[in-house]
Structure 1
């Protein structure tokens, strides 16, 4: 038997109600625009706007479903052909407004061999063209009656049930039986508590942008929660990411009053759209400075981080909730880059330290920065801008040899973060583009970074973890991004 991926439409595949879009295209076609009641049009528009706002904020309710159930009466006499033409135009617009990560989820299910099904309370007159535009295999919805003559028109009556709540689950179950689909191996996505009967039918239920009651039910039943406007795993509270809630306090004087942090040219970070932010790695304090920089730019960021950090209880879960991408070094897996590429295709910002880890020993003092290919490969795959950020002085706040940062407010070491122009990449050779990225980072560092000098033993030891007992001069050729 086959399996299927079953998608609700409103507040799931798109972030609001699709009804106003359909109605606008019907009105543009001259369908349903007439009114015999004086002053009715502005009243209807005001009421529709209020209902739309309520729906977009809190989701479905029995009260909001009553106008939808009665809407069929307005269709009496409408030409089936004219409605279909208008619905195709509406579908083309809706496809352009899918949530940023909806298409990648659809593509994953298609690649896995699942049948794709659109299951919506909306009339099939509206959703059939949309399912066709999305390349779906099936569509389930409320059917409007029509005459069977050559000039077919809608009768103003329902043909069958109003497909909502338990009736929607029954319609899906019937469709699955008719098409040989095994629901226990299928997946369903919805935002609404009233789709709980549908979600209970499948083996893999996913609450997408859930309303309050579905959020609670998902917690009880162990259903995963997704927000298709964000990377998988990102936590939203009251409709906003943790990073967005924290942004007002993400200021140096609040987060790091023990460091004198100076930002330069932070307006070069794109205000919207995808970008790869690269930085040179000098200290455990680097992520703090970069977090402050991205908050200052008003951007949420997805960072690639070592598996060991994600394995730390509480901290690891928080990093996942912030959209962090786990990297298991030494495995050669492309999975982290694939996750980062998905984030970029969804319009997000990804942050990478091309060196992979803080250089040790003599490598830390080498004026020539050496990086790995990850950022260059990611850029070639997605063709998004690579924005370099040169960090300096972070090691004076938290050197690798210390378990905790120097938080003495009297010392306040100077730290700088300088943002550069997008790196001019050629996308032909990861090695050559990596060198271009590292040269761009070097150009943002102060003149002293370019000086060749012999560090003291004490300086070398500051680049190693606490308790290091090896030879600090023996690691000059260690491969970037490895700890061995």
Structure 2
């Protein structure tokens, strides 16, 4: 026996309802305008427009399903061949609207050898061309009766919704020798709970309120296929989006004078890798403010020690953070970052990996690790350099808390540069190009060669450090094996 991945369509694979798209293509083909019952045509058209907003916002309901169930009556006399042609045009349009992480998920299941199944309440007359366009192995939906190449205005069998949809999936699985207890299913609707209960790996995608509650009770994963896995959405928006109006220097860090330059160089949309030099615990705050100014959500890589803190760690994950356990040597964080980039998101990391200690902190030539270069080579996304300066005056490494004295107000700068030109042949060479691009954005003082004082050196170590600060000259960052 084999396994399958069963996908709902509306609000699951795409963000909204597909019905208006199908209806528009039918209308453009001159089909829907030729209904034999003009009054029914008007009622169905008005219902489609009125209820679309409700469906896109809150999902399915018994009330919303009534127009869908009655829509078949409007199809009396429609040519089967003409509907298929119009549906093929609609399928091409819908295929382009498949959510970015849904595309990646589909490919994951395809590589795993799962059969791909589209299970939707929508008429098979509409969805079969879409399933074919997506390369799916099966399609489950509501069948319309037809005679002599024309639809009769009746449903052939049952209206495939709720428990009847689950039964249809069971029948399909039996016919195709599929083990549902080892299969996956994805849906947004509480009314697909029976379907989700059938499989061994149910996932609530962009769930309506009732499905979200049910998923929490049953322990089903909740995902949003327009975002990286683990990202939390409230009211259809990420936590970062809700907090963005408050992400202003005068509110977040009134004790520092933060100056931003070139923030318009961060792409307004699409994937990009934002890289910065690491000088202080205050760096993530400045980078967060910078990205907020650019109007983007960010996926940042961070040390496991931070993610392991109760509540804070879960919040960081919900914001899209990627946990990095540096000593493990695992490439899982880079794979997660790569997936975020492939999904069209913005990823941020510090190539140095950590704040340099001792004499390395004062070296004019920045050293970095290969992670950013490897990500760039795998994805070919723009690599945007950001140079930070002065953050260590706000929160030096040897202090447990930042200097929040509003009378001192250290000057901090964050300068964004043009995308780095990379060759994608050598991670070492490209890392040097990335670090050079960051260095070129720093103030002249950064390139001065000087001997730091012992006091300055001690500021680069964690609180309580009692070793020899000069013995740390060869410590990371900047080494890869």
1:191-230 matches, within 5 Å, as 191-230=188-227
Alpha-carbon distance in 1 for matches of 2:82, 2:55? 28
Q: Is the 8 A contact 2:205 2:222 kept in 1?
A: yes
Alpha-carbon distance in 2 for matches of 1:339, 1:111? 18
| TM-score of the two chains, using structure 2 as the length reference | 0.97
Alpha-carbon distance in 1 for matches of 2:467, 2:33? 81
Alpha-carbon distance in 1 for matches of 2:51, 2:309? 45
3-state SS of the aligned residue for 2:241? helix
Matched, 1:380 2:377: yes
Return 34-43 or 323-332, whichever deviates more. 34-43
Q: Is the 8 A contact 1:144 1:159 kept in 2?
A: yes
- 2:72 aligns with 72
1:186-265 matches, within 5 Å, as 186-265=183-262
1:69-468 matches, within 5 Å, as 69-147=69-147, 151-468=148-465
Q: Is the 8 A contact 2:35 2:76 kept in 1?
A: no
The Cα offsets for residues 372-397 of structure 1, whole Å up to 9 and x where unpaired, read as 11111111111111111100000111
3-state SS of the aligned residue for 1:473? helix
- 114 and 355 in structure 1: CA distance in 2 versus 1, 3 angstrom threshold: same
Q: How many residues align?
A: 480
The Cα offsets for residues 139-181 of structure 1, whole Å up to 9 and x where unpaired, read as 111011122xxx4222211111100000000111111111111
Cα RMSD after superposing both structures = 1.6
The Cα offsets for residues 322-354 of structure 1, whole Å up to 9 and x where unpaired, read as 001111213332221111111112111000100
3-state SS of the aligned residue for 1:157? strand
Alpha-carbon distance in 2 for matches of 1:335, 1:254? 35
3-state SS of the aligned residue for 2:328? coil
Structure 1 residue 42: Cα displacement = 7.0
Structure 1 residue 45: Cα displacement = 4.2
Q: Is the 8 A contact 1:360 1:463 kept in 2?
A: yes
Q: Is the 8 A contact 2:87 2:126 kept in 1?
A: yes
Structure 1 residue 33: Cα displacement = 1.1
3-state SS of the aligned residue for 1:155? strand
Alpha-carbon distance in 2 for matches of 1:42, 1:426? 59
3-state SS of the aligned residue for 1:372? coil
- 1:473 aligns with 470
Alpha-carbon distance in 1 for matches of 2:409, 2:353? 27
The Cα offsets for residues 399-427 of structure 1, whole Å up to 9 and x where unpaired, read as 11111111111111111101111111111
Alpha-carbon distance in 1 for matches of 2:160, 2:145? 14
Structure 1 residue 276: Cα displacement = 0.6
3-state SS of the aligned residue for 1:401? coil
**Structure 2, unpaired ranges of 5+:** none
3-state SS of the aligned residue for 1:101? helix
Return 356-365 or 22-31, whichever deviates more. 22-31
Q: Is the 8 A contact 1:357 1:481 kept in 2?
A: no
The Cα offsets for residues 119-153 of structure 1, whole Å up to 9 and x where unpaired, read as 00001111111111111111111011122xxx422
3-state SS of the aligned residue for 2:130? helix
Return 364-373 or 31-40, whichever deviates more. 31-40
Structure 1 residue 479: Cα displacement = 2.7
3-state SS of the aligned residue for 1:263? strand
The Cα offsets for residues 424-454 of structure 1, whole Å up to 9 and x where unpaired, read as 1111211111111101100111110000000
Structure 1 residue 40: Cα displacement = 8.2
3-state SS of the aligned residue for 1:164? coil
Q: Is the 8 A contact 1:87 1:126 kept in 2?
A: yes
- 2:22 aligns with 22
Return 73-82 or 169-178, whichever deviates more. 73-82
Return 363-372 or 424-433, whichever deviates more. 424-433
- 2:2 aligns with 2
Q: Is the 8 A contact 2:374 2:427 kept in 1?
A: yes
3-state SS of the aligned residue for 1:330? helix
The Cα offsets for residues 239-293 of structure 1, whole Å up to 9 and x where unpaired, read as 1100000011101111111111111111111111111110000000000000000
**Structure 1, unpaired ranges of 5+:** none
Structure 1 residue 71: Cα displacement = 1.1
Alpha-carbon distance in 2 for matches of 1:121, 1:45? 18
